[in-house]
Chains A and B, each alone.
Chain A
Amino acid sequence: MLIVHCPVCGVEGDETDFHCGGQAHIARPATSDPANIADAAQRDYLFMRFNPKGLHFERWRCDRGCGKWFHAARDTVTQEFKAYYGITEMPPADVIKQATGQWAEFFKQATAGRPAARKTAVKKPVAKKTAARKTAPAKAKKS
């Protein structure tokens, strides 16, 4: 049984109170260039998924709380949640460092080419809550 924390409203609940929305940080290719999408790019968007044995980054929804989507970093073997962060945010830097394989590559590219200005503007109100949460990260409990 996973115990999940919502970084938006702050509630804690078990996995049935939340909904796992699958892999995080998938950009829809058609958003930036709808006319020019290769079949392979559309395939990657729809079906290719990072499937790591270890640290994974996911979207979750606070189903029976505030109803908001958020991001979580979770280990798929130990089931431990490493971090919760806002739906528009990138994971905390120390968690990004723990990423391996495809995720490590992804964050190298994503953090390199990211415009700094937009990040701070969108992030501020949510970032405050995640910062507080970061000091005492909730651990996933197994029963």
Chain B
Amino acid sequence: MKRYSIFSLARNALNYHKDWERAWRSPDPKQEYDVVIVGAGGHGLATAYYLAKNHGITNMAVIEKGWLGGGNTGRNTTIIRSNYLQDPSIAIYELARSLYETLSQELNYNMMFSPRGVLMLCQTEHELRAFRRTAHANRLAGLDCRMIDAAEVKRIVPIINDSPDARYPILGAYYQPRGGTGRHDALAWGYARAIDNMGVDVIQNCEVTGMLRSGGKITGVETRRGTIRAKKVAVVTSGHTSNIMEMAGVRMPVESVCLQALVSEPIKPVIDCVVMANTVHGYMSQSDKGELVIGGGADPYNNYSQRGSFPAIEHTVSALVETFPIISRLRMLRQWGGIVDMTGDRSPIIGLTDVAGLYVNCGWGTGGWKSIPGSGFVFADTIANDRPHPIAAPFGLNRFTEGRFIDESVSAAVAH
């Protein structure tokens, strides 16, 4: 792998950029691997990366039905934060956020991590109190977060509607200055390039059609490109996890719904942080291209169609027009939907299953993007050592039987 640098950029510029090598190979699947990871989204690629880097496992394939990063990794609003309420959540999301800080250097791939700050607005007395509680919990866990008042919100976000007569006036905000955004495709591409360089096969257009089991043990996967045998299989397929796991005879406590996002036409810089308005259901940031990136609540019924419906968009946009009157005459350019897997307690599922050699990482619901490096880090350790990583342990599938929930439905809110 040739390193990317200012010199390689200059050298290739002189050649009219005709000599760049491919970032990763496109190999045919081998007959057998030590580990097969199903799903080449961010979480799958990150898992492969940390398995190769931290645990020396390189006889491994990441197989993907479509193209890598084409699911929810390319469909989110790229927000990164870690200010959750419960200790297990804080641990894993903060691990992810801290890994994001050095990822560009580590992968030699600019994933444009931009710690521009995340503001979670408090627009009712109740919300103010709830976020104060989260702030105390976060401070105990050592997170760099603080409550700020309405005047400081206005200073950080001048375009916000701070009228006291607003239907939901700004009473303050919960602020994580180290949160921010990143470039979602670059993360997938950076991980793919790095694992390819370590000898891992990234196999695209290779849909899994069945799981091979022998007794209580997994032995491989059936795919559209033939049978691939494997000692260990890790399923990281987000909204399609129920379907893949059903092939192995494992039921999952998740439901798939569509979460939409949209972007406006590009405008000059108006907002240099991420603002989340949980009470009115909308959040917004501005991309480097100038588009306002907007997200809101999920559609309220099971859905696999990656499109979503208009009431959710209307609801989100009307909430944001109330919060930022300046955007009322902007046109929306693109809209898309991703199929997210929701659990009952809005926390992910990471760990072992009843089938030996079969591992699952899913249930990130509407908050998968921000957790990618942390999720991959602990899941790789879980697979390599066949026991849950300490940070992943509370997120095991058994918590639903034991009643040991990690309830994040409040702090996840709309802006998960």
Contacts of A16 in B (CB 8 A): 311
Report yes or no: B253 in contact with A47, Cβ–Cβ below 8 A: yes
Interface centre among A20, A43, A44, A51 (most CB of B within 10 A): A51
Contacts of B301 in A (CB 8 A): 2, 15, 20, 58, 74
Question: Min CB distance, A117 to chain B, in Å?
Answer: 33
Choice from B243, B253, B256, B311 contacting A48 with Cβ under 8 Å: B253
Question: Min CB distance, B299 to chain A, in Å?
Answer: 8
Question: Min CB distance, A53 to chain B, in Å?
Answer: 5
- How many angstroms between the C-alpha atoms of A46 and B255 in the bound complex? 12
Report yes or no: B311 in contact with A14, Cβ–Cβ below 8 A: yes
Report yes or no: A47 in contact with B344, Cβ–Cβ below 8 A: yes
Question: Min CB distance, B244 to chain A, in Å?
Answer: 10
- In the complex, residue of chain A having the shortest beta-carbon distance to the beta carbon of B314: A16
Report yes or no: A1 in contact with B302, Cβ–Cβ below 8 A: no
Question: Min CB distance, A68 to chain B, in Å?
Answer: 18
Decide: A1 near B311, CB < 8 A? Known: A51-B242, A53-B243, A58-B302. yes
- How many angstroms between the C-alpha atoms of A48 and B344 in the bound complex? 9
- How many angstroms between the C-alpha atoms of A51 and B239 in the bound complex? 10
Report yes or no: A22 in contact with B251, Cβ–Cβ below 8 A: no
Is A40 located at the chain interface by the 8 A CB criterion? yes
Choice from A20, A39, A102 contacting B246 with Cβ under 8 Å: A102
Decide: A1 near B310, CB < 8 A? Known: A39-B401, A47-B344. yes
Decide: A20 near B300, CB < 8 A? Known: A39-B401, A39-B402, A79-B305. yes
Is B303 located at the chain interface by the 8 A CB criterion? yes
Report yes or no: B254 in contact with A1, Cβ–Cβ below 8 A: no
Contacts of B300 in A (CB 8 A): 15, 19-20
Is B309 located at the chain interface by the 8 A CB criterion? yes
Is B171 located at the chain interface by the 8 A CB criterion? no
Is B324 located at the chain interface by the 8 A CB criterion? no
Decide: A49 near B253, CB < 8 A? Known: A1-B311, A2-B309. yes
Contacts of A15 in B (CB 8 A): 300-301, 309, 311
Report yes or no: A47 in contact with B311, Cβ–Cβ below 8 A: no
Is B252 located at the chain interface by the 8 A CB criterion? yes
Contacts of A53 in B (CB 8 A): 240, 243, 256, 304
Is A135 located at the chain interface by the 8 A CB criterion? no
Find residues 225-241 in chain B having any chain A CB closer than 8 Å to their own CB.
240
Question: Min CB distance, A99 to chain B, in Å?
Answer: 14
Report yes or no: A76 in contact with B309, Cβ–Cβ below 8 A: no
Q: Fill in one digit per residue for A93-110: 1 if any B CB lies within 8 Å of its CB, else 0.
A: 000000001100000000
Contacts of B311 in A (CB 8 A): 1, 14-16
Question: Min CB distance, B257 to chain A, in Å?
Answer: 10
Question: Min CB distance, A64 to chain B, in Å?
Answer: 13
Question: Min CB distance, B397 to chain A, in Å?
Answer: 10
- How many angstroms between the C-alpha atoms of A91 and B400 in the bound complex? 30
Question: Min CB distance, A35 to chain B, in Å?
Answer: 18
Question: Min CB distance, B198 to chain A, in Å?
Answer: 34
Choice from B251, B254, B344 contacting A46 with Cβ under 8 Å: B344
Contacts of A40 in B (CB 8 A): 401
Contacts of B251 in A (CB 8 A): 44, 48, 102
Question: Min CB distance, B256 to chain A, in Å?
Answer: 6
- How many angstroms between the C-alpha atoms of A101 and B253 in the bound complex? 16
- How many angstroms between the C-alpha atoms of A49 and B342 in the bound complex? 11
Report yes or no: A51 in contact with B305, Cβ–Cβ below 8 A: no
Question: Min CB distance, B405 to chain A, in Å?
Answer: 9
Find residues 95-143 in chain A having any chain B CB closer than 8 Å to their own CB.
101-102, 142-143
- How many angstroms between the C-alpha atoms of A40 and B403 in the bound complex? 10
Decide: A49 near B400, CB < 8 A? Known: A1-B311, A76-B303, A77-B305. no
Is A56 located at the chain interface by the 8 A CB criterion? yes
Report yes or no: A79 in contact with B303, Cβ–Cβ below 8 A: yes
Question: Min CB distance, B384 to chain A, in Å?
Answer: 29
Task: Please give me the 6 A-B residue pairs with the lowest Cβ-Cβ distance, nearest first.
Answer: A47-B253, A51-B242, A20-B301, A47-B344, A53-B304, A43-B401
Give chain A's interface residues, CB within 8 Å of chain B: 1-2, 14-16, 19-20, 22-23, 39-40, 43-44, 46-49, 51-53, 56, 58, 74, 76-79, 101-102, 142-143
21 A-B pairs within 8 Å (CB atoms) are namely A1-B309, A1-B310, A2-B301, A15-B300, A16-B311, A19-B300, A20-B300, A20-B301, A39-B401, A47-B253, A47-B400, A48-B252, A48-B253, A48-B400, A51-B254, A51-B302, A52-B243, A53-B243, A58-B301, A58-B302, A142-B307
- With A51-B256, A77-B304 known, 15 other A-B pairs at CB within 8 A are A1-B311, A15-B300, A19-B300, A39-B402, A40-B401, A46-B400, A47-B343, A47-B344, A49-B254, A51-B252, A52-B242, A58-B301, A77-B305, A78-B305, A102-B246
